[in-house]
Amino acid sequence: MEFYLKRLKNYYQVTIIETRPSRQKGKDPEQSIKEEGRFLLEQIKKIGAECYVLDVKGREISSEGLARLIKEKEETGQKGMVFVIGGAYGIDEEVLKKANKAISLSKMTFTHEMARLILVEQLYRAASINAGSPYHH
């Protein structure tokens, strides 16, 4: 993770905001999702950028597709992009509604830690594609 974050700094400013699971013994998972959702919505509003959720039900996107998406946002002067990775119990419905698009990394299920690593590597790959670097091959 640190390897890709260090390399990404040559292209983009990347900030990772983590929410700790609010699941407590005896607490309803739906309530935990709602609490995490409120926190995420606050962060998305504060950042003020387009939001993309990583969701198994989202549209699968290739590395080149992600690179194109990022390039389009840069060319239209977008402030930035927010990527949301859900926890073990998923993503709150209100966060899904706020998202501009749902993207799937794969039909397989990954832990949120693995999804974060894959996303960061794919962001670096997209930056490399857009820069014409041979890394993406």
Q: Does 75 score more than 60 pLDDT?
A: yes
Q: How far is CA 133 from the centre of its chain?
A: 23
List pLDDT tens digits, range 80-136.
999 999 877 889 999 999 999 999 999 888 888 899 999 999 999 999 999 999 886
Domain boundaries defined on the chain:
2-11+30-130
Are 35 and 22 spatial neighbours (Cβ–Cβ below 8 Å)? yes
C-alpha span between 99 and 93 (Å, rounded): 10
**Domain 2-11+30-130: top CATH class:** alpha beta
Per-residue model confidence (pLDDT) at position 32: 85
Q: What's the mean pLDDT in 42-58?
A: 91
Record the tokens describing residue 133, joined without a space. Answer: 């670097």
